[in-house]
Amino acid sequence: MMHLLPVYPVAGLILWAAVSITLHRYPLAQMAVTALALLSAWAVSLILLYTATFSGPIVLLVGNWPAPFGITFVADRLSGLMTVTALTVSLCVWLYAAFSTAREATGQGFYPAMLAMIGGVCGAFLTGDLFNLYVWFEVLLMGSFVLIALGGGRKQLEGALKYVSVNLVSSALFLAGAGILYGALGTLNMADLAVKMHLQGMPMLSSAVAALFLCAFGIKAALFPFFFWLPAAYHTPPAAVNALFGALMTKVGVVAMIRVFTLIFNHETEVTHTLLLILAGVTIAVGALGAYGQWEIRRIFSFSIIGQIGYIIMGLALNTPLALAGALFFMIHNMIVKTALLLTGGIAGKLMGTEDIRRCGGLYVGRPLLAYAYLLCALSLAGVPPLSGFFGKLALIRAGFDAGAWAVTAVAVAASFLSLGYGMKVWMYAFWGPLPAGIPDTAPGMRSPSVESSARGMIWAVAALIGLMLLLSVGAGPLMRFCLATAEGLLDPREYLQAVLGQGGGALK
């Protein structure tokens, strides 16, 4: 039975989404079904992670068709870790949504779309072949398009159209690359592709297709120069959707890049990884500078998402165990802390009636717990010790120095100070400082009992994420060791190949 478990976080969530659709007249029942679906998938993902850690990858060959002929799901350390983190964050967003504006959108399909999107995300993490990676990309795109368009306001529809248009271009590039690989090698199973690419060489094909995949996944990850769609779209939906997107959507593209550039396109690293390193450095700089120049909370953290992606790609590009471990640690930290920041910003905007920090002030007096929650997350995002962001950035900076990548490492250090700057700008204007002179009281939420009540409920989701962040900080050593073991397995994938292909995986030495 254990080998059947990798499919549940995917098919299970999509089936629960179908059940949720039938309950569109009963919002509370939809909420309960969504919670049950996420909790059950989370429990299964914990089992998958535990088993993959101590017994090796779990492989499901659908219909008992041997790889590479059938559909393959693989739960290894990377996919298990990402699935657990994604579902953990999703549970916190569900708790927030239960008290926020998402409750008003349940009749329009918020919860079914949420489950479908998360199911697609888990499928992208757990799949073992490129065609089904494309399929799960499309599943999560459909769910996310419903979520970003819910409400139907002009701003939301504009953001939704930008979001879906650019992601369709990404999907087309991905499909073109997959088609070229299939035409040349006769397979789309990632393990089989790794072996055949290793045995046949084909450097020209490898470099050309790697460029296609870099563009396709770079768009989804909001890597420079493909980042422009994210700040134009992510600030438009409700805070719950914004947080879910900020935590998961770009990370799907990043994990796909990690998988293909460590497993398949790992032969021309002087070309591919050098280009990745340059793009990572520019992405870090653009994200930090863009965030520093914004004044609306969610626009600030939309640009911040871009900059943080650059750190993760920096770890992939350096291509050493320490760098990749730092990237994985930083990605887990970022998924949790960024979600907490976006949810905190949503509560602040609800209370103040605006997200423009120049028209805010005094939240510390009325909401000290919310203010301290924001401050902890902002400091962690900037990498202030001893919070969790410090350990991921420290590993990346050490790996950069070890590799002699002085320019990118200097950019990464400078961007940390910039992230502290824009984080403190929000703190000083919205939380610590008084309401600006000449601006009337713009905090209708402070006077509304219903908003007061929902804010008290939403803060529990933020508290759960803060607890996870502090747990990461205290347990940084064990988690970093786990990430280091995961990185070593990615850079030496023989265990993965043998689990999928059997003895055929031993061809890669």
Mean pLDDT to the nearest integer, 456-463? 81
Is the predicted pLDDT of residue 329 greater than 90, yes or no? Answer: yes
**270 C-beta neighbours (distance < 10 Å), count:** 8
Q: How confident is the model at residue 211 (pLDDT cuts 50, 70, 90)?
A: confident
Give the H/E segment covering residue 44. Answer: helix 27-55
State yes or no: pLDDT of 128 exceeds 70.
yes
pLDDT at res. 20: 87
* Average pLDDT score over residue span 12-22: 89
Higher pLDDT, 51 or 358: 51
Pairwise CA distance, residues 496 & 206, whole Å: 21
For residue 239, is pLDDT > 90?
A: no
In whole angstroms, what is the distance from residue 81 CA to residue 271 CA? Answer: 29
**Can you give the pLDDT at residue 324?**
94
pLDDT at 447: 46
Query: Of all residues in the chain, what percent carry a pLDDT higher than 70?
Result: 90
> What's at 400, amino acid-wise?
G
The pLDDT of residue 285: 93
pLDDT at 158: 74
The pLDDT of residue 102 is above 50:
no
pLDDT of residue 235: 72
pLDDT at 445: 45
The whole-angstrom separation of Cα 506 and Cα 415 is 43
Is 90 exceeded by the pLDDT of residue 397?
A: yes
Average pLDDT over residues 471-486: 92
Average pLDDT, integer, range 6-15:
89
C-beta separation of 6 from 123 below 8 A: no
| Lowest model confidence (mean pLDDT) among 64-68, 415-419, 462-466, 503-507 | 503-507
pLDDT single digits (tens) 31-58: 889 999 999 999 999 999 999 999 888 8
Q: Is the pTM of this model over 0.85?
A: yes
Is 448's pLDDT higher than 60? no
Which residue, 325, 330, 488, 314, is CA-closest to 405? 314
pLDDT above 90: residue 360: no
pLDDT of residue 504: 55
Mean pLDDT of 337-344: 90
Cα-only R_g, the chain:
22
CA distance 365 to 371: 9
Q: Which amino acid is at 262?
A: T
At residue 79, the pLDDT reads 92
Q: Is 29 a residue whose pLDDT tops 90?
A: no
pLDDT above 80: residue 509: no
Q: Which of 117-126, 283-292, 435-444 has the lowest mean pLDDT?
A: 435-444
> Would the pLDDT of 17 be above 50?
yes
Q: What share of the chain is helix, strand, coil (3-state, %, to 5)?
A: 80, 5, 15
Each residue of 400-421: pLDDT tens digit?
Answer: 999 888 999 999 999 999 999 8
pLDDT averaged over the chain?
Answer: 84
Confidence of residue 312 (pLDDT cuts 50, 70, 90): very high
Give CA–CA dist 115/135, Å, rounded. 16
Q: Which of 73-82, 354-363, 447-456 has the lowest mean pLDDT?
A: 447-456
